[in-house]
Amino acid sequence: MKIGVVGASGYAGGELLRLLSNHPNFEITFITAYSNAGESINVLHPHLTEFEGQNFSAVNVEDLNKCDLVFTALPHGESAKLIEQLNEKVKIVDLGADYRLTDKSQWDKYYGGSYAGSWTYGLPELTDHQMIAKSKYVANPGCYATAIALSIAPVLAEIDSEDIVVVAASGTTGAGRTAKVNLIGSEVMNNLTSYKFGGVHQHTPEIEQVLTTISNKSVKISFTPILAPMPRGILATVTAKLNNSSSAAKLRTTFSDFYRESKFVSLLPEGQMPMTNSVLGTNNVSMQIALDSHVNRVVVSTAIDNLGKGAAGQAIQNANLMFNLAEDAGLELAGVR
């Protein structure tokens, strides 16, 4: 199947190229960029040696319409402008935010600009696989949204769903490739800092939306993101008040049963904690749970690669389902640590 990647010069776009280059069913046909069109792929992605001698192409609608599937990895607000020009026969997985939110008022509040509508939300562990398989257009979830929603989904029926507290740290690639003073090495190294403090992070409505959809309950989260001095990875700590007394063993059983069929989510053995470097370069999710009996709260620690399960890996997972392929095709990867 012929695949196009739009926005291939960015971090998520580069990870798409890396993973797709070893995919058994997908052939990368068009590798496009906007401001980096004409530049060598290896200049921006020197680790992708298999693309030596190739340059980023300019975005060309005629070329993209020859594809079976296009991945769009663009800043929010940019995907919709291009997608409205593409032929309806082309399947699309959008890694941006343009089609994630079903509520226009939430889009206006957290993003602004023209609202493009909503597509099938592609979080395969929480979205029915058949729904994704039947969809021509899939909105890939945000990285924080993926880690946080997966952390608390198994116990939504057992918690006060309006008292979910999240503290999550992400590597700098989550902010994209555009140069920013606060992201240069001299500023980031030996430093931790919160940002978008006080419930204003744009993934908040997305997380509440997906959890409300699967639980039919009102969901509210208090989310504090942290910038960590590392390039990639997310470690999320999610806690929630339990409605009734429980036990650590019962909670483990609940999580194990919920993710029993998952190819990518692993509940670690007791005493072993998730680490971001154990999922680096993969589509895997490492998870540990505990019961804080002092305050009767469930505590979940989850690690993902923000460019893997949080972006490119999950996009390919969705694409596999859209073409009725094995869910883990091209994603059977162990961590690189």
- Active site amino acids: 143
Decide the pairing of beta strands 69-72 and 57-58. Answer: unpaired
Residues 305 and 281: beta-carbon distance below 8 Å: yes
In angstroms, rounded to a whole number, what is the distance separating the alpha carbons of residues 168 and 156?
Answer: 19
Q: Name the packing angle between helices 11-20 and 313-322 (round to 10°).
A: 50
In angstroms, rounded to a whole number, what is the distance separating the alpha carbons of residues 81 and 85?
Answer: 7
CA atoms within 13 A on the CB side of 199: 8
The residue among 72, 84, 29, 115 whose CA lies nearest residue 318 is: 72
In angstroms, rounded to a whole number, what is the distance separating the alpha carbons of residues 242 and 291?
Answer: 9
The residues near 9 (Cβ < 8 Å, ≥ 6 apart) are 33, 35, 36, 39, 44, 56, 177
